[in-house]
Amino acid sequence: MANLKIDEIPTFLVTGGVGFIGANFILQARQSKWANIINLDKLTYASNLQSLAELQNDPNYYFVLGDINNYELVQYILQQYRPDAVINFAAETHVDRSIFSPQSFIQTNVVGTFQLLEASKAYWQKLTSPKQENFRFLHISTDEVYGSLNPTDPAFREDTPYAPNSPYAASKASADHLVRSYYHTYGLPTLTTNCSNNYGPLQFPEKLIPLTILNALNGKTLPIYGDGQNIRDWLYVGDHCDAIHLVLKEGLIGESYNIGGLNEQTNLAVVENICSILDDLSPKDNFKHSSLITFIKDRPGHDRRYAIDCSKISQNLNWQPKENFDSGLLKTVHWYLNNSAWLESVCTGTYQNWIQQNYESR
């Protein structure tokens, strides 16, 4: 392994940093000089090394190809680079895939998080003061662990009981419980964040927003599950990254923080919004992108509504989302229009197979 040039800033071991949120976080961390970064990623279908191409010659960024399940490798990285924090983004993340094949979700999200906790505990226990007190294990999780809300239910709080409904949500809930137990049992200084749906640059086009943009640009149908009235809270990815950094610096160890965009939208409204942006930015004669909207068979066990009460992070850590949905969505559509090479590179044969499996059998 090459040596990282350590500046007088902290060093973070980021896992899953070649995926959507991890890559945005690393780019922000390096641009703002928050930290030196070691990025451990298995490079699953959801990753794209092009996302981090601009860091190619950055001496304070180092990529390691590997699996969080590999305890020895993680131990080696921790000993070699002596990070001040481990930030766990690595996960299988797509609910529909978890319905078709849940095995990899259990292996990475549950067992992988366990292995990472074990390796981090062994490393942390041997640290000396003050590095030991300052060490953090930050686990990135989701609002989906809380289950589904009815229209008038109050938004999810940190003390809302867990009620995961998909294999994905159940695997993330299991991981959250393991993280919690490592704080209570061993004193490992953990933090957990539970965030709502993210959108923005670098998201793999299996998720609603980039899938809609890609299909609309190619004149393909825009698939909406069920009646399109399921509600998600949407947060721009850059705001999520700011919140993660803040929790890392100022969060109370052993605690969890809900992060949300204060922005509940039905799926139909999200897709219609993207269509009208594309009508302006990529107009076609006598054609409205919304004519491509197609209602298809619902996702099994589809959660009806998610909403996040983020008063804890806003009151205790003074965090607010900076981006509103109109400005964030416009930026996102612009990014996809200007980055067709990135999109093409992820739309390989494997991607086409997934599209066929998920949509043609409905």
- Residues with a known catalytic role: 143-144, 168
146 binds ligand NAD (CB under 6 A): no
For ligand NAD, the binding residue among 18, 52, 95, 243 (CB under 6 A) is 18
The continuous run of DSSP H or E covering 137 comes out as: strand 136-142
Q: By CB under 6 A, how many residues form the interface with ligand NAD?
A: 31
H-helix or E-strand spanning residue 41: strand 36-41
Nearer to ligand TYD, 191 or 224 (CB): 224
Q: Is 50 in the site for ligand NAD (CB under 6 A)?
A: no
- Tokens of residue 286, six digits: 């006598």
Cα-based distances in Å from 357 to 206, 207, 278, 297, 350: 12, 15, 27, 14, 11
Contact of residue 224 among ligand NAD, ligand TYD, none (CB under 5-8 Å per partner type): ligand TYD
State both tokens at 291. Answer: 């004519």
Binding region for ligand TYD (CB under 6 A):
95, 197, 207-208, 211, 223-225, 230, 232, 267, 299
* Distance of closest approach, residue 134 Cβ to ligand TYD, in angstroms: 34
Residue 44 binds ligand NAD (CB under 6 A): yes
- Given the complex with ligand TYD, which of 64 and 95 has the nearer CB atom? 95
198 is a site residue for ligand NAD (CB under 6 A): yes
Distance, CA of 196 to chain centre: 9
**Looking at 87, 91, 211, 274, which residue binds ligand NAD (CB under 6 A)?**
91
Report if residue 329 touches ligand NAD, rule: CB under 6 A: no
As to burial, measured by CB atoms within 10 angstroms (0-12 exposed, 13-18 middle, 19+ buried), residue 162 is middle
**What are the helix and strand counts (H, E) for the chain?**
14, 12
Instruction: Give the separation between CA 67 and CA 315, rounded to whole angstroms.
Output: 37
**Shortest distance in whole angstroms from residue 75 CB to ligand TYD:** 32
- The option from ligand NAD, ligand TYD, none interacting with 223 (CB < 5 to 8 A, set by class) reads ligand TYD
How far is 179 from 192, CA to CA, in rounded Å? Answer: 8
| Closer Cβ to ligand NAD, 114 or 289, answer by number | 114
